[in-house]
Structure 1
Amino acid sequence: MSEIYRLAKLEDAGRLLHVIFEAYVTIRELELHWPAAHADLALIQDNILSNECYVLELNGEIAATVTLSKGDEVKAVTEFPFIKWFAVDPAYQGVGLGHKLLNWVEQSIIKEKLGAAAVTLATAEKHPWLLPMYERRGYERLHVFDFDNGDGPMHLLRKIVNPSLYHSLQLEQAK
């Protein structure tokens, strides 16, 4: 089994549209207003060009994706990097590929490449399994907000990927 972790390319947009559309069925059923859940090809292409969209390829086919945002969605709350648009093709769910991709991004990109102490992501409280799933992965609740758009409470979560650096940052802020 060949696994390749890499940045997405524009020519991946069609496959990514399929993966994200299929993976976000529950999001649409819950009527959450997440751009990825309602993305078209142009939005997928924009995501690839505007952010760092990573993929996990299994035997030559994209099976999972996650995006490191280059925007400022959470800058008012935290300076830690923000990931979004995490999706695993339902044909590949349940075998740990999403776990592998998130681990790779957390360690290789967030910790090693960026030198960040932690990473953040957001999810809806009303989603039946995302919040507990991220908490099992070591994410902790950092902030709650509500856009008053029907999504209900959204949770900004943080995972510390470099404990010694995080501790040093906390000590500096306490001074």
Structure 2
Amino acid sequence: MMSEVYRLAQLEDAERLLHVVYEAYVTIRELDLHWPAAHADLALIQDNIISNECYVLDVDGEIAATVTLSKGDEVKSITPFPFIKWFAVDPAYQGVGIGNKLLSWLEQTIIKEKVGAAAVTLATAEKHPWLLAMYERRGYERLHVFDFENGDGPMHLLRKIVNPIQYEAQSVEM
């Protein structure tokens, strides 16, 4: 039986996180997408830990996956809902549901219960071969399309409702 611990990343996790993110984002670099996480150095990883809520899933004492709840305002002009980014699963742990567990935990425990938000957002590139479909299978819906004119092509902002009753109540108020 493996042990799984969900927690906030600490600065001493930065080197392991750099490895996880770098290895997980190989496809992103091969597609020449200009995502900060795909090209992160140790300083950027440390800044992400300090500036945002960077969560990890430890499996048997080793960080297997990570996802960040942004404290920035990347999408505030489009939606009031929290924005997550830098989702990565170490390739050694891919394909066994670790990423699914971390996202589900984040959506329910952090977004719905701790933050109290009715929905969560994230963004991905249309030209990535499987990310858009993966997030849509997880219940994310396309909300907005934008193009930064940097060669990445269309980027999709996706939304997942994590608290339908609260979401419906807020929609009526708007």
TM-score relative to the length of structure 2: 0.99
Misfit runs of 4+, over 4 Å:
none
* Structure 1 vs Structure 2 CA RMSD: 0.2
Q: CA separation in 2, counterparts of 1:82 and 1:110?
A: 10
Q: Residue type of the partner of 1:33?
A: H
CA positional deviation for 1:144: 0.2
Residue in 1 aligned with 2:8?
7
Q: CA separation in 2, counterparts of 1:75 and 1:124?
A: 19
**What is the number of residues matched between the two proteins?**
173
Q: CA separation in 1, counterparts of 2:94 and 2:42?
A: 23
Q: CA separation in 2, counterparts of 1:79 and 1:150?
A: 27
SS in 2 for 1:80: coil
SS in 2 for 1:32: coil
| Alignment map for 1:59-98 (pairs within 5 Å) | 59-98=60-99
CA positional deviation for 1:157: 0.1
- Superposed CA offset, 1:82-109 (max 9, x none): 0000000000000000000000000000
CA positional deviation for 1:41: 0.1
Q: CA separation in 1, counterparts of 2:18 and 2:37?
A: 9
Residue in 2 aligned with 1:31?
32
Residue in 1 aligned with 2:45?
44
Identity %: 83
Q: CA separation in 2, counterparts of 1:73 and 1:114?
A: 17
TM-score relative to the length of structure 1: 0.99
CA positional deviation for 1:63: 0.1
1:165 aligns with 2:169: no
**Gapped regions of structure 1 (runs ≥ 5):** none
**Gapped regions of structure 2 (runs ≥ 5):** none
Q: Residue type of the partner of 1:55?
A: V
Q: Residue type of the partner of 2:57?
A: L
1:110 aligns with 2:111: yes
